[in-house]
Amino acid sequence: MKTFRIPPIQTLRNFLTYCGRAPSHLSDAAGNSRGPALRRKPFASLPEEGYSISFHRRSTLSTISMSSSEPQNPPPEQGEEEDAKATSKKAAKKEAAKQEKLRRKAEAAALAKAASSLAVEEEDPLAGNYGDVPLNKQQSREELDLSAWTKVRELNAELKDKEILIRGRAQTVRPVSKNMAFVVVRESGFTVQCVVTVQPEIVSRQMVKFISGLTSESIVEVQGIVSVPNVAIKGATQQVEVQVRKLYCVNRALPTLPITIEDASRSEKEIEEASKAGEQLVRVNQDTRLNNRVIDLRTPAGQGIFQIQSEVSYVFREFLHTEGFVEIHTPKLIAGSSEGGAAVFRLDYKGQPACLAQSPQLHKQMAIAGDFGRVFEVGPVFRAEDSYTHRHLCEFTGLDVEMEIKSHYSEVMDVVDKLFVTMFDRLNEQKCKPYLEAVAKQHPFEPLKYLRKTLRLKFEEGIQMLKDAGEVVDPYGDLNTEAERKLGNLVLKKYGTEFYILYRYPLAVRPFYTMPCHDDTKYSNSFDVFIRGEEIISGAQRVHVPDLLEERAKACGIDVSTISTYIDAFRYGMPLHGGFGVGLERVVMLFCGLKNIRMTSMFPRDPRRIAP
């Protein structure tokens, strides 16, 4: 038995070169031999038969063993040994460096190529039915008829036996055998099970192999026939299957993702039940979710939350348009604070001091001075508060309203009442039902309880309810978070509602532009609105008299010179008016009973987070 040890990259090629019989298919794509040629002389006369060859992988070297029933070749002659010893050390080092470089660059690839070259496969006549779509076919080369496409959410039993074309993500790929595989395709939170089965002239084994190798979350196009199984499909939202005829991969995801959809979709209840049964499931924490937000958003709950948020914004606009309001867009770079206090982002504006708007308050009032009568805005709001709570953000989306009033700020509360009852009704309709169910599956919650005519309580009444329940509260101070929650529970128990208005707040806890009460200047013509014991709206009648407005601004520590153009607008004649502001993210969070506002902000900004 003779044994030779050579680097694994050249194992097969070089051994056959020794024997003078290197096959051409062991060359690379350019026809080059893999590795340097080795001396043939000692084995130039090997017979064609009588030898067995075995390959053994050990560490970084491969061993080639040769055995034969024929006598071995005699050892090299003395002259050859002397020639070998005459080889210079420089040439030996150069050759060693070349071998090492080649090993590092191509070991894995060369071994894989050698293995694949030994496995001869038939050319697939059905290769056109599957594969990766080349980039040059994705660069808007031609316009296609969009009616040929079907949304995954539209797949139902009515489409039985019809051919459809869908595009989505390969959520899961499960090969069953060489002849069969399952692919769950997801589009915007809706999923359908696709079945790939070998069929003559339609689906080949090579196609099944290709599909089995798809990575999770890759973008795929599927063409197939809709079928209706006899049993319920548990792993998909749509209760039909697609019998695949063609499947193309548009874009491949990485084999390993930072988080998986399965892990990110898991509820706390599932994790706890598994833990009790002795099974440890992955819990994806909040920071990990936010660091990998684009993946987290793909979960059913993530899709549901932002579909609901979209509906809230849509209903807000639609309702106010029907009530005669005009949508406006105000600047977010302003000269002075719009709310007072230190919670403002200050910046340099071409050499002038400026800040980011804490609200559109000043400009929406100026729009009323401009005779628009009723206005609203949907836009970003910035607060520089160092708040690390579950309900505060440094940037959120404000839903703001301002309107003329005829006699009493209750007219503003009437708009709030009708707007939100309409909004809640719409969210509970069929359109949003699948989104609410998706959220509730991962984050269980009870439907919001609200009245057809929204409950209104005076601030003094709320304080008395808290005192009667044994709470110590300041009658002229603001309610803290715990007091709000306690009052919310008391209101629910007494009135059967989780949505109510608390009005006539102490003047000391309201912004400078809030109108004092006519009968007691310790209180103001203002209100807050609550959902599930947490505040979502602040509103009030505004001061429309310029001298009083200036006096109130100074009392709140605001440099009047920075808001001079705002106050001047009141000097030209200003009608009675009032309004309110709503935090979009907070509305969605509380309606869905979620525990953290960062879940309802697509890319949240808080004191610690400014990316992604």
- Check: CB of residue 489 under 8 Å from CB of residue 501: no
Active site residue 385: yes
- Check: CB of residue 447 under 8 Å from CB of residue 309: no
The C-alpha atoms of residue 612 and residue 607 are separated, in whole angstroms, by: 14
Q: Give the 3-state secondary structure of residue 60.
A: coil
Active site residue 586: yes
- Check: CB of residue 364 under 8 Å from CB of residue 580: no
Strands 326-327 and 374-382 turn out to be parallel
Q: Residue 87: count other Cβ atoms within 10 Å of its Cβ.
A: 10
Ranges assigned E (strand) in 29-179:
51-58, 61-68, 130-132, 163-177
Tokens of 500: 């109510």
Sign of the Cα torsion 283, 286, 287, 288 reads positive
**What's the distance, Cα to Cα, between the start and end of the chain in Å?**
64
Tokens of 229: 């199984």
Active site residue 408: no
Q: What are the DSSP calls for 593-609, one per residue?
A: T-S-GGGGSSS-BBTTB
Active site residue 535: yes
- Check: CB of residue 491 under 8 Å from CB of residue 500: yes
Residues 6 or more apart from 157 whose CB is under 8 A from it?
Answer: 228, 239, 240
Q: What share of the chain is helix, strand, coil (3-state, %, to 5)?
A: 35, 25, 40
- Check: CB of residue 327 under 8 Å from CB of residue 317: yes
Instruction: Name residue 330's amino acid.
Output: T
Instruction: Name residue 256's amino acid.
Output: T
Active site residue 538: yes
The C-alpha atoms of residue 294 and residue 280 are separated, in whole angstroms, by: 26
Q: What are the DSSP calls for 296-344, one per residue?
A: HTTSHHHHHHHHHHHHHHHHHHHHHHHTT-EE----SEESS-SS-SS--
In degrees rounded to 5, what are phi and psi of residue 87? Answer: -60, 130
Out of 289, 586, 598, 601, the active site residue is 586
Out of 266, 383, 510, 544, the active site residue is 383
- Check: CB of residue 439 under 8 Å from CB of residue 304: yes
- Check: CB of residue 490 under 8 Å from CB of residue 455: no
Convert 254-285 to b/e letters by CB count within 10 Å (16 or more is b).
Answer: eeeeebbbebbbbeeeebeeeeeeeeeeeebe
Out of 538, 544, 550, 598, the active site residue is 538
Helix 459-468 × helix 481-495 angle, to 10° = 90
Residues 6 or more apart from 88 whose CB is under 8 A from it?
Answer: none
Active site residue 392: yes
- Check: CB of residue 349 under 8 Å from CB of residue 576: no
Out of 385, 461, 471, 534, the active site residue is 385
- Check: CB of residue 583 under 8 Å from CB of residue 408: no
The C-alpha atoms of residue 457 and residue 537 are separated, in whole angstroms, by: 15
Catalytic site residues?
A: 383, 385, 391-392, 535, 538, 586
